[in-house]
Amino acid sequence: MYKRSVLRVFGAGLTLWIYGSAAQADTTRALHPCMQNTSTIPYQALTYTSPANLDAPDGSFKLDGLIVERLTPPPLAKAKKQRIETFLSDQTTTSEMVATKIAKRDRYGRQSIFIAKSGIPENQDESQTTLLQEALLNDGLARVDPQSVSAACADRLLAIENQARDAEKGIWRIPRYQAKDATKLDLSNIVSRYQIIHGTVKSISRNKDRTSYLNFGRNWQSDFTVSLSKKSLATWEEKNKSLDELSQAHIYVRGWVEDRGGPLIRVLRPQQLWVKQIETDALQAGTDRNLLRHIDDK
C-alpha cells in the first residue's frame, strides 16, 4: 500500500501525521483527542537538541503538551534523546511529508507541535501509543503541561503519565520529580519549578467574583497555597464539585511554584487539581500507589 505522511496543525501547533491512507488517517485523527481540528502544512526533517528543540532548516519546534525541561540526572536526558531520535528516524510507514505553517512561535522562535505515527493495522486498538508525546510519557521521560492543550487531550496525556508514575518509570524514580508533601516544602528548591504537591486542605477561601484560595497550613502567608481565579474556579466547579467540598480532603496539585510569602501554585486548568482516592488496604501497606484518581473520572 502506498504510504504518505502529513504534518498537521492542531490549534496553535503542528502535527506530523503518518498514515497508510487518507481515509484511515481521517478516522484515526477523529478518534484521537489531540488530533482533532487539523489542517495540512509543509514538513521538514527534524533534529532534536536538548532540552526541547526540534530544529528544521527554517526554524525550531517544540513538543506541545509537555513541560519544557532538561532532565536530570544525565542518563535520563540521554534516554529521552534516544527515544525521540528513534521515533523520528522510524521510516517504516513514511514515504512523503507535506505541510503549511500558520501558528505563532514562542519568544525563542519555536512552534508547538504534536508528532504522531499511524498506518496501524485494523485489528489494533486505537488507543495504542501514536504520539511521540505519548511514547515519552509512557517511558517516564516527560511530564504533561495541561495548560497548553485541550481538556480532552490533557486527560489523555495525563492518564499515560499517571501509569508511568505508578510504575515508577524514568523520572518518577527520582525524588526531584516525585510528588512533594505540602507540609515539608523547601521553597528554595522548588520555586520557579514545575512540581506536583500533595497535602490536606486546612481552610478554603472561596470567592466566585475574585480569586479563591486553598490553604494547606495555619498561616496562609507562609504555608503552601493554591489559587484559582474567578474564571478558573467556574471552570473547575463546572467539571467537578464545589470548591468548599475539598475542606480536609487530601488533594494533589500540579503547576509552576511561585514565591508569594510562601509557595503558591495557580490552577488554570481543572486537570491541575485532583483528589486522592483513599484505599484502606494500600494505606496499611504503607504506600500511596494507585490511590490517585482524577476528579474528572468520577
Q: From first to last of its 298 residues, what are the pLDDT tens digits of the chain?
A: 333 344 444 434 444 444 444 444 555 555 778 877 655 455 568 899 878 898 888 788 888 899 999 999 999 999 999 999 888 887 664 423 222 344 577 888 888 888 877 554 433 454 454 788 999 999 999 999 999 888 998 999 999 999 999 999 999 999 999 999 999 999 889 999 999 999 999 999 999 999 999 999 988 788 999 999 999 999 999 988 899 999 999 999 999 999 998 999 999 999 999 997 643 333 334 434 333 334 333 3
Q: What is the pLDDT of residue 211?
A: 96
What's the CATH number of domain 4-173, 2.60.40.420, 3.40.50.10320, 3.10.580.10, 2.40.50.90?
2.40.50.90
pLDDT of 37 reads 65
Burial 102-130 (b: 16+ CB within 10 A, else e): ebeeeeeebbbbbbbbbbbeeeeeeeebb
Contacts of 2 (CB under 8 A, 6+ apart): 95
Q: Which residues of 188-226 are buried (b: 16+ CB within 10 A; e: fewer)?
A: eebbeebbbbbbebbebebeeeeebbbbbbeebeebbbb
- Provide the residue type at 257 as one letter: V
Which residues are paired to 117 by β-bridges?
A: 18
Alpha-carbon distance 177 to 172, whole Å? 6
What per-residue confidence (pLDDT) applies to 6? 42
Classify residue 275 as exposed, middle or buried by CB count within 10 Å of its CB (0-12, 13-18, 19+): buried
Which residues 6+ apart lie within 8 Å of 235 measured at CB?
A: 269, 270
CATH 2.40.50.140 domain span(s) along the chain: 180-297
Q: In this structure, are residues 38 and 62 in contact, taking their beta carbons and an 8 Å threshold? A: no
Pinpoint the residues of the chain covered by CATH 2.40.50.90: 4-173
What homologous superfamily does CATH list for 180-297?
Nucleic acid-binding proteins (2.40.50.140)
Residue-level pLDDT at 62: 86
Grid cell 506530523 — which residue? 16
User: C-alpha grid cell for residue 163?
Assistant: 501509569
Residue 190, pLDDT score: 94
The helix/strand/coil state of 25 is: helix
Round to whole Å and give the CA distance between 252 and 212.
17
What kind and span of H or E run contains 223? Answer: none
Q: Are 43 and 6 in contact (CB under 8 A)?
A: yes
Closest CA to 115 of 22, 48, 194: 48
Whether the CB-CB separation of 30 and 36 falls below 8 Å is answered with: yes
- Measured CA to CA, the distance from residue 160 to residue 166 in angstroms comes to 10
Write down the pLDDT at residue 39: 53
- Residue 250 contacts residue 187 (beta carbons within 8 Å): no
Q: How far apart are CA 295 and CA 298, in angstroms?
A: 5
